[in-house]
Chains A and B, each alone.
Chain A
Amino acid sequence: MDRTSRPRSRRFPALVAAAAAAALMVTGCSSDSGGKKAEESADNAAAGKADTPRMKVALITHAAPGDTFWDLIRKGAEAAADKDNVDLLYSNSPDAAKQANLVQNAIDQKVDGIAITLAKPDAMKAAVAKAKKAGIPVVGLNGGIDDWKEQGLLEYFGQDESVAGEAFGEKLNELGAKNAVCVIHEQGHVALEARCAGVKKTFGGKTTNLYVNGTNMPAVKSTITAKLKQDSSVDYVVTLGAPFALTAAQSVGDAKSKAKVATFDLNKDMVKAIEDGDVDFAVDQQPYLQGYLSVDALWLYKTNGNFSGGGQEPVLTGPAFVDKENVADIAKFAAKGTR
């Protein structure tokens, strides 16, 4: 039966090798502009290292893999872990039940502290209670600002999504906007819905939600273009993640609309887009800070018994507005991928 496949299978690696060789020959023409060579080599925020005994901290989030935002949280946590002589165990699952299992996994590993996002607070309740029973201190970050105290978490680092949304809406009022479209890239996501709801609450003009398929960029682009054509009075497109703002800026061009783009969250391309005026402003909740503080806080609690906010008040990391005025200040940090 393999009469036809055998000679092919022998010939095939040779073909690939030939193609690869051909490709390498093309490498003769390299690029003089951009690329790795042009990228600044910058070290991470590396201060000294604590000489406290090695401890183990688990950071468990509800992040979907491969999201620029969550990558910043992880980087902040890693920086703190390096500094504090902490062995950091990072794990994540967008599925609530799986995230709860990951907490159990951390308890089984007898970690010295757990940092957790409470995006789906009810699903995490039992797991958090178990961790407390095992004597493991738990801190919250990013999601769960309404629930961390009730579940007995030590402290909380994050942004109140509704507050951020409301601040966003006020900023739009200030800029004289009349009609905003809020682009939600994952339908049914609680925090994203809360942001748009917050915008709607304080914004004096009209706010319309628009749902797009976040994993399919061409579809995101088309859908925003369609919305801008459908309603030509839209003067602000509000996106809830940096990559979508960059795409929305293209849609504005395609639809020949006069709308401006504003967004929640930053990434390194966003800085350039703000400098160029493609994106009007961004609201940063400083994810790096959230990750850094939660690991550092667990270290501090173990070594000196401190905890921020006294278990009563959350520690707010945002909202911080970034626009043309102040973008230069953070540009070099964003270029490193840490802000």
Chain B
Amino acid sequence: MIPVSQATAPAASDSPPASPAAPKDGRTSERSLARRVLARPEIGALIAAISVYVFFFAVASPFREASSLANVLYESSVMGIMALPVALLMIGGEFDLSAGVAVTTSALTASILSFQLSLNVWTGVIVALVVALAVGAFNGYLLVRTGLPSFLITLGSFLILQGANLAVTKIFTGNVATDSISDMQGFDQAKKVFASEIGIGGVDVKITVFYWLVFAAAATWLLLRTRFGNWIFATGGNEESARAVGVPVTFTKIALFMGVGAGAWFVGMHILFSFNTVQSGEGVGNEFLYIIAAVIGGCLLTGGYGSAIGPVIGAFIFGMVSQGIVYANWNPDWFKAFLGVMLLLAALVNLWVRRQATRR
């Protein structure tokens, strides 16, 4: 196994050697618990999230209700489920600009296939998974084969999917939105799986919130406890050295892109089964929200650094701010400006915490 110092690497390399008075060699000395905690990539985002929560808790009385929190968590979860594989991919050093429209592609595939062939909706769900994984594999394969930047390749697939979403929908349905599949067999069952609600103490919580947390736990385990997790960090940190020490870089990258495909499939199914029909033009622009969630959560744009909990917090901050502004009933004309200011403040808190952690 190759030694990969994972998430704490930048923090450790930035800190100057131990003070001369230290009895032991600074490089091997144990850092204090507080300092180690502060150096985690997601801790800055966590503190920012708490600040945002406290802020809206103070200024917006409807925000205090448990059902409001459930609503905020819902928006965060739909964004956050996609932000997870996108964050893993970013840690692995690549981008996927097709992630937003890939969600719509999956939903359209499942819906159109089921409707046109009058199949049980589960068939459409499974075929959509195959299509979503194939899109991811295509991105990954093209990337490792051509060596072109992922920004360029996935920009291409973004445009291809955006056009295909519209054109294929139009060919089959004659419209630009799919037909409602809510009266078809298997729909109710699939709705239970992908888009139901669970009551907790009188508050209806959307099922995506639970999936989100489960997926985040799985991604954390994958990153920190498995060999594949090490491969991701190594590939994103320095591809050539990773390859030199035997990391299967090609496999890792294709798998990460397919992971994004799987995420897009899941969110696509949620959208299909909660809204019954899908507009073919949806999803454009969401790819940046996923990347934003990952970056707010402490992932580096350059790869090799980040965590799976980070994007969870990042998506939560984004959800809190965008809903909090409504709960606070601020002038809606300023909505985007408020959103920008709040996100910038969250990023500054994040940065400040990380500086504190790495300073002696």
> B-contacting residues of A (Cβ < 8 Å)?
1-2, 4-5, 8-9, 12, 16, 19-20, 22-23, 26-27, 29-39, 64-68, 70-71, 187, 208-211, 213, 215-219, 221-223, 225-227, 229-231, 243, 246-247, 250, 254-255, 267-269, 272, 337
Contact = CB atoms under 8 A, between A and B. Distances in A.
B281 A33 contact: no
Nearest to B173: A337
Contacts of A67: 176, 279, 281
A16 B74 CA distance: 33
B250 A8 contact: yes
A34 B118 contact: yes
B71 A254 contact: yes
A31 B186 contact: yes
The 7 closest A-B CB pairs, nearest first, are A66-B281, A35-B118, A34-B184, A222-B75, A31-B185, A34-B183, A5-B250
B127 A269 contact: no
Contacts of A8: 250-251, 254
B29 interface: no
Nearest to B275: A217
Given A4-B250, A65-B166, A211-B332, A30 B118 contact: yes
B177 A68 contact: yes
Contacts of B11: none
* Interface size class, chain B: 35 or more
A71 B326 contact: no
Contacts of B60: 230
B212 to A, nearest CB: 12
Contact of B322 (A65, A208, A223): A223
B325 to A, nearest CB: 9
Contacts of A39: 179
A23 B327 contact: no
A86 to B, nearest CB: 20
The main secondary structure of chain B at its interface with chain A is helix
B31 interface: no
Contacts of A222: 71-72, 74-75, 319, 322-323
Contacts of A223: 75, 322-323, 326
21 contacts: A5-B250, A9-B141, A23-B123, A31-B118, A34-B182, A34-B185, A66-B281, A187-B336, A208-B332, A209-B332, A211-B335, A211-B336, A216-B285, A217-B275, A217-B282, A219-B79, A223-B323, A226-B327, A229-B68, A231-B329, A255-B67
Contacts, number: 206
Given A23-B130, A30-B119, A218 B177 contact: no
Contacts of B174: 337
Interface in B99-123: 114-123
Contact of B130 (A16, A34, A250, A337): A16
A208 to B, nearest CB: 7
Given A23-B127, A210-B326, A223-B322, A35 B119 contact: yes
B118 A36 contact: yes
Contacts of A218: 74-75, 78-79, 270-271, 274
B70 to A, nearest CB: 9
Given A27-B119, A217-B275, A229-B62, A12 B137 contact: yes
B150 interface: no
Interface in B135-149: 137, 141, 144-145
Contact of B283 (A2, A9, A215, A337): A215
Contacts of B329: 230-231
B180 interface: yes
Contact of A31 (B72, B75, B184): B184
Contacts of A229: 62, 65, 67-68, 71, 327
Given A35-B114, A269-B276, A64 B185 contact: no
B194 to A, nearest CB: 12
A8 B289 CA distance: 32
A179 to B, nearest CB: 13
A260 B254 CA distance: 48
A298 B137 CA distance: 50
B183 A215 contact: no
Given A67-B176, A229-B65, A230-B326, A219 B75 contact: yes
Task: Name the residue in B60, B177, B285 with the highest tally of chain A Cβ atoms < 10 Å from its Cβ.
Answer: B177
A175 B62 CA distance: 28
Given A23-B123, A29-B123, A227-B326, 10 more contacts: A30-B123, A34-B115, A34-B181, A65-B162, A67-B176, A211-B333, A213-B285, A221-B75, A225-B71, A231-B329
